[in-house]
Amino acid sequence: MRKVKAAIIGTGFIGPAHVEAARRLGFVDVVALCEKDEETAKAKAAQINIDRVYWNVDDLLNDKEIEVVHNCTPNNLHFEVNRKIIESGKHVISEKPLAMNSSESRQLVEMAKKAGVVHAINFIYRYYPLVRHARSMVQRGDVGEIYHANGSYTQDWLFLPTDWNWRLVPELSGESRAVADVGSHWCDCVQYVTGLKIKRVYAHLHTIHKTRMKPKKELETYAGKVLQPEDYEPVPINTEDYATVAFEFENGAVGSFTVSQCFAGRKNRMFYEISGSKCSLVWDQERPDELWVGYREKANEIVMRDPSLLTPEARPFAHYPGGHPEGYPDGLKNFLWRVYSAVAEGSSEWDFSTFEDGHIEMAIVDAVLASHRSKQWVEVTP
């Protein structure tokens, strides 16, 4: 595999994870980063051992050595930064959400296709071995007709009224918070496994902490720092801490999911249950090496993440023998492996989540917001 030179824009929580995963591939050289100012850029570059630094996106994009750019900026910058990357002719890997709304995301899909660049979005849970195994079970008919899907994505990192992050500010994160941030992952994963698109939604959103105490100086995501009372100021909150969404698939099957970042004890629990005419499937991201398979007339099964037990479609995503756990960093590596392989080989056969998938998720978020406002079912119209 030929070497590919890459750069990253934004080095908060997720940026360094991208760098680490890309380096593990062995044929990706992350040569540059861009941050909001010179001081931050140089400090971050020293932390993750990158020599070339920029504090202006245009300057980075003028670097002719760079083929691929990772967009790990805050949500409000996604559209503009993705647009610039595409216009520069470089391949783009974006964090989700793709943009602030489906109008912007639609533009990005059209631009990327016209430019002929590789375009990918990080829906990481598609790339876990047992998620792939579940998808292949559905595809070969082992699950039967899909009747129902339900589940949740719950966390507790915004549990306290003193917990603060830029995602709490609509101007930076968008009109939806919990649904756009983690609900998008749940919808993408379940649509991917079932092969069915969500057709319409009925949503209820709720803000638990209507006022939060904002630190007077910036904190990174998951920083978990303890401050004194005088270090805070009260700020009103008008994005959702919690949501429950009922939905209908395109085949008429129904389901529901709950999302929250205020459920004590849930660190990063992305959980789904898919019920079919032959069996049911359950997977929990906090127990990623197990897939529960439920039957009516025989004993239930636990499929372990062991390459010798997985379907041929799932086996390449498991890199270690059974009993050697693989999780979040490995899912990110599997995602980037697929993207960078397409770049290095010039392949048009893509097996990764693209800007089109990001646009579909933005359309679901828009429909969820419209449903909450109208208290009615709303069609998803990507």
pLDDT tens digit string along 68-115? 999 999 999 999 999 999 999 999 999 999 999 999 999 999 999 999
Q: pLDDT digits over 23-37, tens only?
A: 999 999 999 999 999
Under the banding of pLDDT at 50, 70 and 90, the label for residue 226 is low
pLDDT over 90 at 224, yes or no:
no
The answer to whether residue 61 is domain-embedded is yes
Asked if residue 212 and residue 180 are part of one domain, the reply reads yes
Per-residue pLDDT at 225 exceeds 80: no
Residues 92 and 200 in one domain: no
For residue 332, pLDDT over 90 is answered with: yes
CATH number at residue 280: 3.30.360.10
Based on the fold, state whether residues 147 and 119 are members of the same structural domain.
no
Residue 284: how many other CB atoms lie within 10 Å: 17
DSSP structure string for 194-222: H---EEEEEEEEE-S-SEEEEESS---TT
Q: State mean pLDDT over 348-361.
A: 96
Q: Is residue 220 included in any domain, yes or no?
A: yes
Mean pLDDT of 115-130: 98
Rounded Cα distance, 61 and 138, in Å: 42
Element (H, E) at 235: strand 232-236
User: What CATH code is carried by the domain that includes residue 60?
Assistant: 3.40.50.720
pTM exceeding 0.85: yes
Q: What band does 382 get if pLDDT is binned at 50, 70 and 90?
A: confident
Write the CA distances from 352 to 123, 221, 283, 349, integer angstroms: 9, 26, 20, 9
Whether 349 maps to a domain, the answer reads no
Burial 188-210 (b: 16+ CB within 10 A, else e): bbbbbbbebebbbbbbebebbbe
Tell me the average pLDDT across 264-275. 97
- From CA 342, how far away is CA 1, in angstroms rounded? 11
What is each CA distance from 4 to 26, 171, 298, 355, in whole angstroms?
A: 10, 35, 50, 21
* Secondary structure of residue 274 in the 3-state scheme: strand
pLDDT above 90: residue 170: yes
In the predicted structure, residue 222 carries a pLDDT above the cut 60: no
Helix 102-115 crosses helix 355-374 at what angle (to 10 degrees)? Answer: 170
Task: Give the distance from CA 233 to its chain's centroid.
Answer: 31
| 95 Cβ neighbours under 8 A, 6+ residues apart | 10, 14, 70, 71, 72, 73, 78, 121, 122
Question: Is 91 contained in some domain?
Answer: yes
Range of the structural domain that residue 52 is part of: 4-124
Task: Enumerate residues 6+ apart whose C-beta is below 8 A from 54.
Answer: 32, 33, 34, 35, 41, 60, 63
Q: Which residues contact 300 (CB under 8 A, 6 or more apart)?
A: 292, 293, 294
Out of 11-15, 104-108, 118-122, least confident range: 11-15
Question: 34, 57 in Cβ contact below 8 A?
Answer: yes
Q: Using CA atoms, how far apart are residues 190 and 16, in angstroms rounded to an integer?
A: 27
**Identity of residue 305:** R
The count of C-alpha atoms lying within 13 angstroms of the C-alpha of 379, restricted to the half-sphere facing its C-beta, is 3
Helix (H, G, I), strand (E, B) or coil at 122: coil
Pair 74, 132 in one domain = no
pLDDT for 220 = 54
Q: Are 340 and 68 in contact (CB under 8 A)?
A: yes
Domain end: 124, 154, 169, which one?
A: 124
Q: Computed over its alpha carbons, how large is the radius of gyration of the chain?
A: 21
> Rounded to the nearest 5°, which phi and psi values hold at 161?
-65, -15
Q: Is the peptide bond before 97 cis (omega within 30 degrees of 0)?
A: yes
In a domain? residue 301: yes
Domain boundary among 82, 100, 124: 124
When mean pLDDT is compared across 149-158, 186-195, 228-237, 345-354, the lowest value belongs to 228-237
pLDDT of residue 216: 75
Q: What span, in angstroms and rounded, lies between the C-alpha atoms of 48 and 10?
A: 13
Residue 242 has pLDDT above 70, yes or no: yes
pLDDT category, 231, cuts 50, 70, 90?
confident
Question: Among residues of the chain, what percentage have pLDDT more than 70?
Answer: 97
Q: Name the pLDDT band for 1 (thresholds 50, 70, 90).
A: confident
173 and 256 both lie in a single domain: yes
Q: Has residue 299 been placed in a domain? A: yes
| Residues 41 and 170 occupy one common structural domain | no
Pair (150, 205) in one structural domain: yes
Query: Which tens digit of pLDDT belongs to each residue from 292-325?
Result: 999 999 999 999 999 999 999 999 999 999 999 9
Nearest to 282 by CA among 131, 155, 128: 131
Given 124, 145, 164, which residue is the final one in a domain? 124
Q: What is the pLDDT of residue 223?
A: 53
Same domain, 160 and 69: no
